[in-house]
Structure 1
Amino acid sequence: MVLFGTLVNGICIIVGSLIGLFFTKIPDKFKETVMHGIGLAVILIGLQMAFETEIIIVVLLSLLTGAIVGEFVQLEEGLNRIGGWIGSKFTTKESNFSVAQGFITASLIFVIGAMSVLGALDSGLRGDHEILITKGVIDGFVALVLTTTLGFGVIFSVVPVVLYQGAIAILATQIEKWLPDTFLNGLIIELTAVGGLLILAIGLNLLKLTQIRVGNLLPAIITVGFIYYIYQLII
């Protein structure tokens, strides 16, 4: 079953979020310290991924073009509206922002990363779900901790995770007909680096050191494919 790993990942996020709901009443100073810990760990993950790049110009141009697209379509504002709409269905108006923040932050952390792409590709190409199952266990624990500080908006991040990874897994069943292995392997490296920088930005935002509009940088995940393809044509 091509989507088995993706579904397990989604279930782990839901379970982790539900467990985390039982710990939302802990004192604010505990939540703040926990969030700082999460922020530091997220920064470390982002740096490790970003340092994998082999062609820094591809990463730079991907972020630049992604930022232009994201700002033009106001992607982050749209994500906030989605989170706010979700919050309005379950909470009072005053807590809508919290739900939106939990939804967006968790979605970005769970979706952006090498394990999402590599795991989904493995599921589609080889029917091997080990990476996504491992990612699911990790995401479950992260969802638990995030829910204790950001609230139940975290649980809704399962929707973009399943859609994103599921789409890659399904496309991967045909991708070998379109892309040679050497191109695909190189693209994954640069995609990982771009995702790492976005995760780094999330960590900095969690520590409240910056207010980077990470949502408006998300198109870089797509533009990196075009930039890398053009780079390969030129060299």
Structure 2
Amino acid sequence: MMIGPLINGSAVFIGGVIGALLGTRLPERLRLSMPLIFGAASMCMGVILVLKVSHMPVMVLSVLVGAIIGELIYLEKGIGWLGGKARGVASLIARSERGSADSQAAFLQSYVAIIVLFCASGTGIFGSMHEGMTGDASVLIAKSFLDFFTAAIFATTLGFAVAIVAVPQLIIQLLLAYGAIFILPMTTPAMQADFSAVGGVLMFVTGFRICGIKVFPVANMLPALIIAMPISSLWVHFF
């Protein structure tokens, strides 16, 4: 049984509910400082995974080629387009909120942002596939702590709508985790280590983005996760 997606989804749901109940009672300084802590934690998790790399050239080549593929197919823009489609659902929620048209527009913008953040993050996609292939849920469990507080902070302004995002997030992560099970028989420990290292790079740059240091195109780097193990296999075969 895949426990990582269940824990992560529960963290978002509970965090969203608690944040909505707290509302403006959460100190402003906490809302501003916590994302920096989240980003630092994400970077540290990434470093730990990168250190497990089996073939350094594989990790570098996978990230470079994966980013090029993502840029060429406009992957981040496509994910943004899907997020835009979520505005339809968000609009229904926004209409139930009292306030001006400007406040509803701000609500929509923020709500779409968290849908993308929770459902299409590199850490979530990697963590789900990692658990499916290795049975190790530690990445998603660690991510759950971050998502719990992130959801709570967003929910102080967006309300209980944040908790609803746990549903699509859970579905996506379960599909990825169980899909990765079919990949497991074709992998080796070295391939899994290189895959984990590539995931670590994505988690590291995600931390930079969360901290606001540099906005890396993380979504465009997601193809690196797909090509990491094939490149690792080819590297071992030819080198």
- Tell me which interval the TM-score lies in, with the shorter structure as reference length: 0.7 to 0.9
Cα distance between partner residues in 1 of 2:189 and 2:114: 33
| Contact preservation (8 Å) 2:128, 2:140 | no
Asked if 1:172 corresponds to 2:181, the answer is: yes
| Contact preservation (8 Å) 2:10, 2:166 | no
Q: Residue 39 of structure 1 corresponds to which residue in structure 2?
A: 39
Q: Residue 111 of structure 1 corresponds to which residue in structure 2?
A: 124
Cα distance between partner residues in 2 of 1:31 and 1:65: 37
Q: 2:205 aligns with which of 201, 205, 210?
A: 201
Q: Report the 3-state secondary structure (helix = DSSP H, G, I; strand = E; otherwise coil) of the residue aligned with 1:210.
A: coil
Structure 1, unaligned runs of 5 or more: 124-130
Per-residue deviation, 1:45: 0.8
Q: Residue 100 of structure 1 corresponds to which residue in structure 2?
A: 112
Deviations 1:140-194 (A, max 9, x none): 4332201133445575365355334434425525743xx2xxx421111111111
Stretch deviating more after TM superposition (77-86 or 145-154): 145-154
Per-residue deviation, 1:22: 2.8
Q: Using a 3 Å threshold, how does the CA distance of structure 1 residues 136 and 190 change in structure 2: closer, same or farther?
A: closer
Cα distance between partner residues in 1 of 2:233 and 2:154: 39
Aligned pairs for 1:89-168 within 5 A: 89-90=89-90, 91=94, 92-107=104-119, 108=121, 110-113=123-126, 115-121=127-133, 131-132=136-137, 138-151=142-155, 152=161, 156=165, 158-168=167-177
Q: Report the 3-state secondary structure (helix = DSSP H, G, I; strand = E; otherwise coil) of the residue aligned with 1:36.
A: helix
Per-residue deviation, 1:55: 1.0
Q: Report the 3-state secondary structure (helix = DSSP H, G, I; strand = E; otherwise coil) of the residue aligned with 2:165.
A: helix
| Contact preservation (8 Å) 1:101, 1:150 | no
| TM-score for both structures, normalised by structure 1 | 0.78
AA at the equivalent of 1:79: I
Identical-pair percentage: 20
Q: Report the 3-state secondary structure (helix = DSSP H, G, I; strand = E; otherwise coil) of the residue aligned with 1:29.
A: helix
| Contact preservation (8 Å) 1:69, 1:219 | yes
Cα distance between partner residues in 2 of 1:149 and 1:109: 21
Cα distance between partner residues in 2 of 1:170 and 1:29: 41
The count of corresponding residues between Structure 1 and Structure 2 is: 220
Per-residue deviation, 1:122: 5.2
AA at the equivalent of 1:141: F
Deviations 1:101-122 (A, max 9, x none): 3223333265144x53342235
Alignment root-mean-square deviation, CA: 2.9
Cα distance between partner residues in 2 of 1:184 and 1:161: 28
| TM-score for both structures, normalised by structure 2 | 0.77
Deviations 1:185-212 (A, max 9, x none): 1111111111111111111111111011
